[in-house]
Amino acid sequence: MMDFNDAEGPVDARPERPSRDAVRAQLLQRLEAVLQALYPHGRVRRGKFHLGNTQGEQGDSLEVELSGPKAGLWTDHATGEGGDVFDLIAAHANLDARDDFAIVLAMAAELAEHVPASVPAGSGKRRRSEAAMDELGPHTARWDYLSADGELIACVYRYDPPEGKQYRPWDAKRRKHQAPTPRPLYHQPGMAAALEVILVEGEKSADALIARGFCATTAMNGAKAPIEKTDWSPLAGKHVLLWPDKDKPGWEYAMQAAQAALKAGAASCALLHLPEDKPEAWDAADAAEDGFDIDGFLRAGERTYLAPGSDDAPPPIDFAGLDWSSDDGLGLAFTRHYAEDWRYCAAWGQWLSWTGTRWNPDRTLVLQHLVRGVCRAAQVFAERPSQRAKLASASTVGGVERLARSDPRHASFAESWDRDLWALNTPNGIVDLRRGTLRRHARGEQMTKLTTASPAGDCPTWRHFLGDVTGGDGDLAAYLQRVVGYCLTGVTTEHALFFLYGTGANGKSVFVNTLATILGDYATNAPMETFMETRGDRHPTDLAGLRGARFVAASETEQGRRWNEAKLKAITGGDKISARFMRQDFFEYVPQFKLVIAGNHKPAMRNVDEAMKRRLHMVPFTVTIPPERRDRRLTEKLLAERDGIMAWAVQGCLDWQQTGLRAPQCVIDATEEYFEEEDRVGEFVTEDCYVHRDARASIEDVFHRWRERGEQRGEYIGTSRWLVQQLMARGFSRMRLPGGAKGLTGLSLKPRQQNTRLPYADN
């Protein structure tokens, strides 16, 4: 029985989903104000709100009832479209009111929460103070900054003139196109009840996260926001997660904003490490448009927790009994302050920091910033300018960092990280895979990896999906559960690799990709070239990147490719393999990963031997989902059940420990059929040879027949030595024939088939 109640999980930052009727009532109470917020170009005439279309262009063809029993209903007389207020919000956001209703409802709730109950005086009319914006044209977007009580503080308008986008603030109190003093944070009503707040750059990024149920905010003007002129007090007591744009201004803004938030009383500040494969300036809005796994990234993405301290106010460091003027004393002071949360691994050449759930590699040189803080703190003791200059120098900072590396309180061995092969680190705690129980995170576990899901609840959509792709085969579905459970562990005792085959539209890629997303850091993708035969040796970096992974996915096999059988045997055999990263030394590691490949074409095999037969599991995904049943949002729906799928996988691990993989008959049959198809030597023996204990044949004649056969069929021929080895593996033996020629015993060649067709036989 699985028990996941031993550890306390983090508080979910998502609010409860509001009811449809409650949101509708709130919208109708402030309908005109909501419409004015959505469509600034709209106009009210004769009790109806008029505009050109659902995208907000000027015109009269679309009208919305503002009062009476039909309030909120709308009709576009130009297109014949219509609906209620939810349909209008969906159309404005280019969403489907039915398929995307959860997002539409969240957007509607935000509107109902943000928009004042009454339209500000003069709304819908051009004010004199707005005349200065005429040269920019009409605004293309608007964001309201509200107080925690819902009072409008300011608006930010976006304009898109030919020379490029521009933003203009509006001070609601002073009724001027200028930023208020101090500048407010965005989305304060939503922040009031949240414990975790995501700080991003810009209102568009904040809205992208808010629409998905997260509490997000931004400073007015994003990365250009004047930190000292912004009111950061709404972040007091909050756990702040910073998601900057992927560029230098974004990084600098995040570091300054973090210090401002901590100074304002934030409970903690953590800086997310953005994915390395994303382009310059990539942000949360881009992530939403790309279909990026935002939920998993916020749950388990690498991050660094930041401590208070700035150039003006360095962190409090205890120098008691230490020589602050020497690198050694500064290094000891650093260790005294940071020993608990920082480790250095010499084999990796990398510092790691504790985040509360795992140890994160320091990819953004935060440690250098902390060392500088120690050196700045020591400057208060310096009496001469030369001493202060020395403490601020790069050589001092670098020297202190190098000394700290070797301190036993920081130093660690590569082998000590992620060493428990039966422990799985999840956001809510560490799963003991032997028992299926959960325990608290702890520094001493030395875990660097984290899944994006914690085991909890059920996964009905996932179970239904498995029923579809297996054609209702319960044995195959149960086998897949055991396979996934085995993949959670770091052990490779099964020495197995799994090939999911079938033509398109059968769910195998969705199956693999969903699991890889849920397993987070424990999963990685590998190019098929890594496991295929190539003309030249592939660089060992292919295998270096797989160290520490437990689930390695590969896909899209090309027709006509062959397995690299020697490499497959090495990585599934349980022995150490050698690899290295680019421009680094070789290292050895024992693979923990299980290889799961999805492909439409089965790779060919040169040597059909017992070692490969023991390893390869051919898993049929042969049910084609008809077009009318294909769901383009299936992956999104499955990931919404990620915690339930993780619980399903943990149960699969327990089942595997009880019974083993226990392949069902369909997998056994498919695997045997594959090896029969690939056994070219066995086919040759059956079709071209007699097998008898007393039979004899010369190796030269056997290879000559084999070569002729291969040339006619376009198959691999190899060498005479290779063919003899294959035949000996099947029980035939070498011998010397009379006259000294090399031969084989146990087989002889069948006579060649002669053309015996007689003339006029058809008569």
For residues 495 and 619, membership in a common domain is answered with: yes
CATH number at residue 519: 3.40.50.300
Query: How far, in Å, are 415, 416, 474, 480, 597 from residue 463 at the CA level?
Result: 38, 37, 11, 11, 21
* Helices and strands in the chain: count of H runs, count of E runs: 25, 30
According to the model, what pLDDT value does residue 540 have? 62
Look at 758 and 461; give whichever has higher pLDDT: 461
The residue among 524, 592, 510 whose CA lies nearest residue 554 is: 524
Helix (H) or strand (E) holding 497: strand 497-501
Looking at the structure, do residues 637 and 721 belong to the same domain, yes or no? no
DSSP-derived secondary structure for 449-462:
---S----S--HHH
Task: Quick: pLDDT tens for 88-116.
Answer: 998 888 888 888 888 888 888 888 877 76
Q: What is the pLDDT of residues 388-422, one digit of tens each?
A: 899 989 999 999 999 999 999 999 998 899 999 99
Q: Give me the mean pLDDT over the 564-572 stretch.
A: 84
Q: Of 124, 145, 160, which one is at a domain's C-terminal end?
A: 124
Domain co-membership, 595 together with 705: no
Res 156 pLDDT > 50: yes
Residue 288 has pLDDT above 90, yes or no: yes
Report yes or no on 63 lying in a domain: yes
* Pair 690, 605 in one domain: no
Q: Are 627 and 527 in the same domain?
A: yes
> Cβ–Cβ contacts within 10 Å for residue 635, how many?
16
438: pLDDT confidence band, cut at 50, 70 and 90?
A: very high
Question: What's the burial of 187, exposed, middle or buried (CB within 10 Å: 0-12/13-18/19+)?
Answer: buried
In-domain check, residue 735: yes
Last residue of a domain, one of 416, 445, 474: 416
Residues 540 and 412 in one domain: no
Residue 763 has pLDDT above 50, yes or no: no
- Give the count of domains, the chain: 4
Asked if residue 688 belongs to a domain, the reply is yes
- Domain check: are 496 and 587 in the same one? yes
pTM for the full predicted model: 0.72
* CATH code (residue 37): 3.90.580.10
- From 67-76, 541-550, 631-640, the region with the lowest mean pLDDT: 541-550
| pLDDT, position 13 | 42
> Residue 482 domain-assigned?
no
Q: What is the pLDDT of residues 695-730, one digit of tens each?
A: 999 999 999 998 988 888 877 888 999 889 888 988
- What is the rounded CA–CA span in Å between residue 711 and residue 702? 14
Looking at residue 124, what is its pLDDT? 44
Asked if residue 182 has a cis previous peptide bond (ω within 30° of 0), the answer is: yes
In this structure, the answer to whether residues 577 and 635 fall within a common structural domain is: yes
Measured CA to CA, the distance from residue 531 to residue 543 in angstroms comes to 10
3-class secondary structure, 593 = coil
- C-alpha 445/C-alpha 441 separation (Å) is 8
pLDDT tens string 531-559: 887 766 665 677 888 888 999 999 866 67
Kindly report the average pLDDT of the chain as a whole number. 86
* pLDDT tens readout for residues 603-626: 877 777 788 888 999 999 989 888
Domain containing residue 3: 1-124
- What DSSP line would sit under 539-572, residue for residue? PTHHHHTTTT-SEEEEE-PPTT-BB-HHHHHHHH
Do 633 and 500 lie in a common domain? yes
Looking at the domain assignment, is residue 175 inside a domain? no
pLDDT tens track for 649-702: 999 999 999 999 999 999 999 999 888 888 888 888 888 899 998 899 999 999
Is residue 242 one of the residues assigned to a domain?
Answer: no
Do 602 and 704 sit in the same domain of this protein? no
In a domain, 322, yes or no: no
Query: Six-digit token pair at 534?
Result: 């190539």
Q: Which of 105, 124, 143 is the last residue of a domain?
A: 124
Residue at 54 is within a domain: yes
- CATH number of the domain encompassing residue 683: 1.10.10.10
Task: Examine the pLDDT at 762 and tell me if it is beyond 90.
Answer: no
User: Do 498 and 627 sit in the same domain of this protein?
Assistant: yes
Domain identity same for 735 and 616: no
